[in-house]
Structures are given as C-alpha cells and as structure tokens.
Amino acid sequence: MQILFLNSFEGIYKTVFERRDYFFELLVQHFVLSLTAILLIVIIGTSTGILLLIYKPIRQVVLGIVNFLYTIPSIAMFGLFIPLVGIGFVNALVVLVIYGLLPMIRNTYTGLNEVDPLLIDAAKGMGATPSQVFFRIKWPLGFPTIFSGFRTMVVMTIALAGLASFIGAGGLGQAIYRGINTNNSELILAGSISVALLALVTDVIIGFFENLFINRKFRASRYRKLLIISVVFLIIAPLLLITFDRLRVKTSKSDEIVVATKPTSEQYILGEIISRMIESNTNIHVKRVFGIGGGTSNIQPGMLSGEIDIYPEYTGTAWLFVLKKKKKISDSDSLFTLLQRTYNEEFDLAWVARFGFNNTYTLAMPEAMALRDNIKSISDLSPISNRFVFGAEFDFFERDDGFAGLSKLYSLKFKKLVELDINLKFMAIQNKTVDIIDAFSTDPRITQLNLRVLKDDKKYFPLYQAGIVIRQKTLEKHPELKEILGKLENLINDSTMIMLNYQVDILHKSTEKVAEDFLKSKGIIK
C-alpha cells in the first residue's frame, strides 16, 4: 500500500512538474474566475440581503427563486446559459454567481434580522438615526453570521469553478476533465488535488480573519492595516497574474485564434496538431479551448458567434447532426464537396482539409461473449438483444445518426439502456456494468480490452472523415491558414490515428508530446 501511494505521489509530482506551464495557466484562469465571481456575489448577495431586511414582503419571493435556482444541477445550468451568453468565461461567471448567492443572501438577512430588538430600541431611545442603528448596531452584531456565509460561499465557488472547463472556461478543472477524457489518473489527481488545495488554503486564510473579527484585538491598528493589505492583495492579485501570464506569450505574436475540440483523446490530438501547425508557421497566438462538453452541440454555436475560430469535425456529424440531412451519402468526396458549399452558404464556415481517416461509429462487445453467442454483426445481435445491457454516451441517444435509428433499423430491444459519460464506456464494459457499447473505430481500447467490433451489415452508420472547420472571417483575416492547414490533407490514415490514440489513452503520453512528435516525424515542423 505504501509503495502504491509513493508511486502515485511520484506520478502526480512528475505530471505537475513536466507540465508546470500548463498548470500555472490553469491556476491563473481558476483564480481569476473564482475571485471575480466572489466579488460579484458579495456585492449582489449583501445588497439583496439588506434589501430583504428593509422590504420584507419580497423576502419569500426572492429566497424562493434563489432556492429554486440552487436546486438545478450545475452541469445543466452551464448548458442552459449557452444560448444566452455562449461558452467560456461569461457563462461560467454567471453560473458561479447564481450558485453563490444563496449563502450570502440568507446569511446577510439572517445575521441582520436576528440582532436583539432590545438593543435596537435602546439605540433609538438614545436618539440614534436609522443609518446609525444599521451601521453601529445591526451590521457589527450581524457581521459574524454574514462572514460565516461568505466563508462557505468562497470554498463552494472555488470548488464549483472546477466544472467551468465543461463549457471552455478553463481553470484547474480542465486538468481533471482532460485526465478523464484521456484515461490519465495522474492528471485527474493532479487537477483534483490542486482544486482542493486552493480551496483549503483560501479557507484557512479566511478563517484567520474570521478569528480576528471575533477577537477584540482586531480593533488595534496593526490588524486593521493587515486587513487592508490583504483586501488590496486579493483585488490586485488577479491583475498581476494575468499580466505575468501575458508576458509569457511571445511579444512577436500579433493576433490570437481560438482552437476548440470535443472531449476525446482523438480530438485533443487533432486540436494540438492544428494549433502547432499555426504556431510553427505564423506569428499568431493560439488559444486552446479543448474538451468542451457537449461536443458539436456547444462548439457549433461558438463558431457562429465568433468565440471559436477553428475545430476538428467529422463529416458524418456535420451532415446528419448539424445540417439535419436524412439522406446518407456513401461517396466521401461528394459528401465533402456538399459540406464545403453548404457550410459556406449557411454558416459562413469553411472546410479546409480532411486528415485522411474515417472514425465511424461501431458497436463493440467482449470477444468471449460474442464467441459464446456467435455474434459477428449487428443483425446477429438483433434476435437476442434482449439478453444484453447497452451503454452509450448521452449524445448517442439524441443524435439523428445514433441509437433511435439504429435500434429501429436492426429491431434492437436491449434488456437495459445505460447512459454514461463518453469516456466511461470502456470502464463500464470492463466492470461488466454493460455488455455492449457504442465505440469509435479508431479507439485503441477496443484492442486493449479484446472487444469484437460488430459488422454494420446494413450500413447504418455514415462516413465520419475527420476534417478542419474554420470561420470564413478568420480565413479572410489570415488567408495563409488555408495553405498551412492544407498540409494536413490525408496525412493521417486509420492505423496512424489508432497509434496516436494508443499513445495517449494507453501509454498516457501528453497530447502535446504526441502531436509534436508526429509532426516532426512527418517533417512538417522542426
């Protein structure tokens, strides 16, 4: 047990040390997002709490609304605000503020409302004005309760900010999410421990000041000066971190382009390949917004709004999911030509290249189970499908090219359906939680876990050739990108993509290293 712990600690330390620039960037993002949210929550929460004290008729309505919003799952809240404010920092900030308001509003109102009425009456009897009653009596006596709510809210906000990576807002949660997506336990632990330490250290600091507030010695000038210095530091620290982070970016960089990806190892690799191609051949700074939850459904709106400039997409997804086309096109060149024209006309987006591999959907099950029941194709599965539990990501159950059409065509009636995260499917089949999963044909875990890919004998799944989608306005501003990204045309075949995925998913190499080594092996970058 001790050896296992030491090995895990060593792996975490190595991960953080080797990727210290990456973790520093995430720390800056997490700190700025959390502190901005905390400042807004304090302003809005305390103001609302005071307002409830003055206008009691609105108390139940306001607290009812805040309580209701608090019951909505945070992941759902992030998704609900995408149509309104898009993805990224603003979306995360709005959600964090909403969740942080409840403890601040409630504790502010409770602390001020529970001040002993006799003390208030005594102050009024001595001729105190309403403002004097508030600032000299209610606020000082209610402050410990208010500060307690503040402490709870801060820790909660820092922890919840870890989910911001789901909608591309960055932060330390990105390391956790990327670790899950690439099956990298060291990265998951490094991200989780970082968030926990940040919350713990912040809580200890706040606890120190809370003790000072309770202690009468706080009235001494040296403690007041300490408080003032600390508050000033908390305000300017994000600015200093942002400034320092910007200085790390080469001054020769003349512009910025946002490259986004879906939350899979393959997408991380492709996104990194695209990013390095741009950085190696231009003075453009690439902002990586990788692993956006919801995939195409959240990235496409970001492309249309201008929040994202480039991302890797699959032709089948674009044709069936984005364009909502029913007719399948079997010829890859014809499909690509149609996509180029339609994306340009409807979205002002361009398909500039195809990588060269086809990552189509497939169904997979343990080889031993398939041998036992002599299942080679989806048609073989059909008459006995009620014996098996089927698992797939949430997206697969909603897509036009997903479960509904597949089950209808093959008359599949599984014993049970399990919806789970896209990166937990293989763990579920390994743990025998499910018997059959949907999978991508370039996923190396199919070979690692000795799974049998069932033949799509009725050709339900369309072509899913990976390509690059870019905004036309970005191309107009940087026309050189068309030629640069065009060098990736047909550079990666199916076996090569499986090999790249294997290095990330199975060998736990970083996507940055895998992408860099691949491009160097092809002589595209030095």
Prediction pTM value: 0.72
DSSP state of 318: I
Cβ 149 vs Cβ 103: under 8 Å: yes
Burial of residue 309 (CB within 10 Å: 0-12, 13-18, 19+) is buried
List, as own/partner pairs, every contact residues 16-22 make where C-beta atoms lie below 8 angstroms and the sequence separation is at least 24, other chains included: 16/190, 16/194, 18/510, 19/510, 21/248, 22/175
Specify the length of the chain in residues. Answer: 526
How would DSSP label each residue in 202-228? Answer: HHHHHHHHHHHHHSGGGGSHHHHHHHH
Protein fold of 257-355+466-521: D-Maltodextrin-Binding Protein; domain 2 (3.40.190)
* CATH 3.40.50.300 is right for the domain spanning 21-208: no
Please give the Cα distance from 459 to 227 (Å, whole number): 69
Q: SS3 for 453?
A: strand
Which residue from 421, 430, 424, 431 is spatially nearest to 449, judged by alpha carbons? 430
First to last CA, the chain: 44
According to the model, what pLDDT value does residue 32 have? 85
Kindly report, residue by residue over 74-114, the tens digit of the pLDDT: 777 887 777 777 777 888 899 899 989 988 998 898 888 88
Residue 240 has pLDDT above 70, yes or no: no
Residue 426 has pLDDT above 70, yes or no: yes
Please give the Cα distance from 63 to 102 (Å, whole number): 8
According to the model, what pLDDT value does residue 171 have? 85
According to the model, what pLDDT value does residue 369 have? 94
Domain 257-355+466-521 and domain 361-454 have a common topology: yes
What are the strands of the beta sheet with 349-358, ordered from one edge?
284-289, 255-260, 310-314, 465-471, 349-358
Cβ 504 vs Cβ 512: under 8 Å: no
| Between 386 and 90, residue with greater pLDDT | 386
Kindly report, residue by residue over 449-507, the tens digit of the pLDDT: 999 999 999 989 888 999 999 999 999 999 999 999 999 999 999 889 999 999 998 88
Kindly report, residue by residue over 263-315, the tens digit of the pLDDT: 888 999 999 999 999 999 998 989 898 988 778 888 998 899 888 999 999 99
Kindly report, residue by residue over 106-162, the tens digit of the pLDDT: 889 888 888 888 877 787 778 778 777 777 888 788 888 888 889 889 999 999 888
Please give the Cα distance from 142 to 110 (Å, whole number): 8
Protein fold of 361-454: D-Maltodextrin-Binding Protein; domain 2 (3.40.190)
Q: Where are the domains of the chain?
A: 21-208, 257-355+466-521, 361-454
Encoding tokens for residue 484?
């640069």
